[in-house]
Amino acid sequence: MNYEFFIAKRIIGSKAYKSSISAPIIKIGIAAIAIGIVVMMIAIATGIGLQHKIRDKVVAFNGHITITNYDSNSSQENIVPISKDQEFYPEFKNVEGISHVQAVAAKFGVIRTKTDFEGVYLKGVGADYNWNYFKEFLLEGKLPDYTGKRNEEVLISQFLANRLKLKLNETFQMVFPKDDPEKLPNIITYHIVGIYNSGFQDFDANYIVGDIRHLQRINRWKDNQIGNFEVFIDNYNEIERKGIEIYQNIPSVLNAETITNKYASIFDWIQIFDKNIYGIIGIMILVAGINMITALLVLILERTQMIGILKAIGSNNWSIRKLFLYNASYLILLGLLWGNIIGLGLIFAQKYFKLFPLDPSVYYVTEVPIYVNLGYIISLNIGTLLLCLLMLLIPSYIITKISPVKAIRFE
């Protein structure tokens, strides 16, 4: 029998232990562990959640990797067309891990209503467009259908709809100016079939989604000419490597750019969240560890006579240290239990009830996003337990300095 565990269990279960002088300090130690795990869980869930949410919104409008012409055009509008007759379209067989390739185009125009006007880009998409991301953004109506004949269905953001006082199923005119100012512009009357809100105001304020065949007609492109390709990959963590592989497997007249390079400022900003998460975890584990060290020292001081008796009957120092580490492990596990209950309760409350909103103009999301993964929860609990126990090994060394004779006489 593990007698150290047996004695520790008896101590924990005794009434004297629960009403001892050390009881308040022990409760503070348990509370510190619980608060620490709550803060760490929330920091990870919200930090990673915000990263994923912002990343997915950028991907929704651009794909993971964009294949464009080499030109000096710095605007979002496509000037020189690309032929769809490429080896990598519609399936990129030369590079593994590519889930989808779609052909799109963009052109600047002015939305004109009876009372307002707004300059935006029409993003032209076709039958191959991946609507999976926009399904989550859709607030009203339906997604446009471009699998049949050319049509005037468009998807507009809630931001633009409110700004221009437009509603679902209404129509508006969009004016596309020509390069020659003496020529009359192209005017198309569009029908709003869906209203979306990505929460990413930089995109919502500048893009509507329509049929690419209108842009091909306006630009006098052929049916097989488009503005650029958007490539989606299976694993975001491989985006840089896949970007290089794609670049090496496309014609020399084309360029491949990842969204991490195209929107470097956004992705540099969200990478800072990792440092914040690590900092919070380090601080909370340190605080919890210090509180547990204090509780352990009080427990040792309170049980000095017992330590002396155990040494007198032949117990070695490591055996007695194990006894107190078992005791401390129980307190840490108790703190972790309460911390997990409270932390997971708050996380799921935010996930399903959206209790805490955010300013989309600053954070690109309308509420605090939550990322829940069993792996990081288990790792966080195991890591906290092990690190706290490692921190307790040093103060438990004080037991080796206790003399049996003095300890038995200790009052």
Locate the domains of the chain by residue range: 3-57+267-409, 71-252
Pairing verdict, β 207-211 and 228-233: unpaired
Contact 254, 68 (CB under 8 A): yes
State the CB neighbour count (10 A cutoff) for residue 8.
20
- For 179-203, how does the pLDDT look when each residue is reduced to its tens digit (9 = 90+)? 777 788 899 999 999 999 988 888 9
Cα 279 to Cα 40, 76, 265, 285, distances in angstroms: 10, 38, 22, 10
Residue 194 and residue 153: Cα distance in Å, rounded? Answer: 9
Per-residue pLDDT of 364-400, as tens digits, reads 888 899 999 999 999 999 999 999 999 988 888 887 7
Pairing of strands 98-112, 207-211: unpaired
Contact between residue 355 and residue 347 where contact means Cβ atoms under 8 Å apart: no
Read out DSSP for 129-156? ---HHHHHHEEEE-----SSS---EEEE
pTM, rounded to two decimals: 0.83
What is the pLDDT, as a whole number, of residue 317?
A: 85
Distance from C-alpha of 237 to C-alpha of 223, rounded to nearest angstrom: 35
Task: In whole angstroms, give the CA distance from residue 112 to residue 108.
Answer: 13
First to last CA, the chain: 31
Residues in the chain with pLDDT values less than 50: none
Let me know how long the chain is: 411
Tokens of 403: 């003399």
In this prediction, residue 101 carries a pLDDT of: 96
Please compute, for residue 190, the number of CA atoms within 13 A of its CA located in the half-sphere on the CB side.
Answer: 30
Closest CA to 125 of 206, 203, 210: 210
